[in-house]
Structure 1
Amino acid sequence: MLVPDVDLRTWVTDVAVETVPPSGTQASPPDPATTLVFCSAAEEAFVVGPQTRGKYFRGAEAHRLKVRLRPGRARAVLGVAAHELVDRVVPLRDLWGSAVAPGELRRVLAERLAAVDPQRDALVTEAVRTVPSSGVAATARALHVSERHLRTLFNDAVGLSPKQFTRVERVRRVVASGKPGSWARLATELGYYDQSHLSAEFRATMGVAPGAFAAGRFPEAQPC
């Protein structure tokens, strides 16, 4: 994994180069963030918007450069409301008006970020940080905004409602935990009502029960 430049660190969570194997299934958990993907197979850059459900892929071998924006940053970077990108994959040139090579990305990002409203950006950052643990009402009070304004802000900047955002973040933590056999404890740690709540939410989002996922028993994969 490559570490983002310091001046972009508050906008990019990570930059990774990955190889997609020619066989087998690749599981992709839901993600509240928007990701820029440069794919060798397509020879083009794409924007993968916030994903509300897990996906499973198979396909030919390819190499990809992935730049994951922090949740809430898509609006400022791409110039469109994030809710327009939810569960979509869009060619980057359709949003920026022209193709961008990987080597030009840092320069283009820096140019776009120079025009960002720092006050609004600070509000989005704090809302994204606080909502999962505190909820909408408490976060709105802490930020001195109405609950309606907070929901509108999330819809525009993140693309998801606060409730959707919290659900996706929790499921991602279940996927990352890889703890088969300890679901009850994990449910408590992540704020689920109980193990049944965790299992139901995981199945609705990932298409299989958490135990089956941990064992590698995935749903049928789609061509990548």
Structure 2
Amino acid sequence: MRGAYRGRVPYTIAEQLPTAPEVLRPWVTGVRALSFTRPPEETFVRLPEAVTKVVLRVTADGQRDVLAVGPRVRASYHEGKTRVSCVELCLAPGTARPLLGVPAAALVGRVVALDGLPGEAARRLAAEMRWLDPREALPHLAEVLPGLLADAVDPSRTALLRAGVDALSVRLDRVPVQVRNVARELAVSERQLRNLFAEGVGVSPKHYARIDRVRTVVTRAADARWSELAASTGYFDQSHMTSDFRSLMGVPPRSYFAGLLPALSPCQAGPRT
């Protein structure tokens, strides 16, 4: 039986910015411009996400906030937003501490003002972003961000972390590698690998892999049987996939794709310190 996927549209995308230019890719994996121009017809779902982001948010009354948004270890469900626009920079693994002045683990589940963080680069970036038009974001950041971070990132440590992230991520042509095998391949201990992930990703290697697998299930459910999906994403079996999905999403896959979602919670509107 195939996953009965019903596509959710949690926001109206007013403009999808181009792929991040090459000059930004050492530090930014993606840039999005999102506009919540009307209440969506369905629940606004925040999927688990092992990514730290810098977000420029503009509300209907013109208020502008530049925020650091930490990784989310579980999904949350909210009523639809309206009249809010955002530009999101998804930071590459290993970028959080050099840019923000704190390890990614310190931001898990948090939304904070970017200029309130200890990193000098964070304060400068907040000043650069605050008055940007979304259409100007990419070219301007391509000029500014490399100068803020060029000497701040440890290349060897970052390369090691990103190799670990890649090995633990689901790909179309392979299933992810087990954490102990990744540590062995990178010639580090599992403890060293956990420390790398805590600083540069925000969650442990095991939890990163869980988040990545569950997000893959969400995106591939329309095209595969449950058992096939479980095997291709690295689960022992369908029961293991269901248990993991329920733990991170709050409901099992069949309920999620049938629209039987957990109770809604208020959507966090502002920085929390």
Same fold per TM (> 0.5)?
A: yes
The aligned residue for residue 15 of structure 1 is 31
The aligned residue for residue 66 of structure 2 is 45
Give the fraction of aligned pairs with identical amino acids, expressed as a percent: 40
- Equivalent of 1:114, from 129, 146, 150? 150
Find the aligned partners of 1:180 and 1:56 in 2 and give their Cα distance: 24
Unpaired segments of 5 or more residues in structure 1?
none
The within-5 A match list for 1:121-160 is 121-132=158-169, 133-160=176-203
1:84–1:189 CA distance, 2 compared to 1 (3 A): same
Secondary structure of the residue aligned to 2:72 is coil
**Cα distance, 1:61 vs structure 2:** 2.5
The answer on whether the counterparts of 2:28 and 2:92 sit within 8 Å (CA) in structure 1 is yes
Find the aligned partners of 2:189 and 2:82 in 1 and give their Cα distance: 49
The within-5 A match list for 1:65-80 is 65-80=87-102
1:60 aligns with 2:82: yes
The answer on whether the counterparts of 1:136 and 1:162 sit within 8 Å (CA) in structure 2 is yes
Secondary structure of the residue aligned to 2:55 is strand
**Cα distance, 1:217 vs structure 2:** 2.9
The answer on whether the counterparts of 1:51 and 1:86 sit within 8 Å (CA) in structure 2 is yes
What's the CA shift string for 1:129-178, capped at 9, x where partnerless?
12352223222222222222111111111111111111000011011113
The aligned residue for residue 54 of structure 2 is 36
Find the aligned partners of 2:202 and 2:97 in 1 and give their Cα distance: 9
> Larger deviation: 189-198 or 127-136?
127-136
The aligned residue for residue 217 of structure 1 is 260
Find the aligned partners of 2:142 and 2:113 in 1 and give their Cα distance: 18
The answer on whether the counterparts of 1:29 and 1:54 sit within 8 Å (CA) in structure 2 is yes
Find the aligned partners of 2:75 and 2:165 in 1 and give their Cα distance: 21
Secondary structure of the residue aligned to 1:213 is helix
Which runs of structure 1 show a deviation greater than 3 angstroms over 4 or more consecutive aligned residues?
A: 102-108
1:5 aligns with 2:21: yes
Structure number having the greater helix percentage? 1
The answer on whether the counterparts of 2:55 and 2:68 sit within 8 Å (CA) in structure 1 is yes
> Larger deviation: 11-20 or 96-105?
96-105
> Larger deviation: 79-88 or 112-121?
112-121
The answer on whether the counterparts of 1:130 and 1:139 sit within 8 Å (CA) in structure 2 is yes
Find the aligned partners of 1:22 and 1:105 in 2 and give their Cα distance: 30
**Cα distance, 1:181 vs structure 2:** 7.6
- TM-score normalised over the length of structure 1: 0.90
- TM-score normalised over the length of structure 2: 0.75
| Equivalent position amino acid for 1:37 in 2 | V
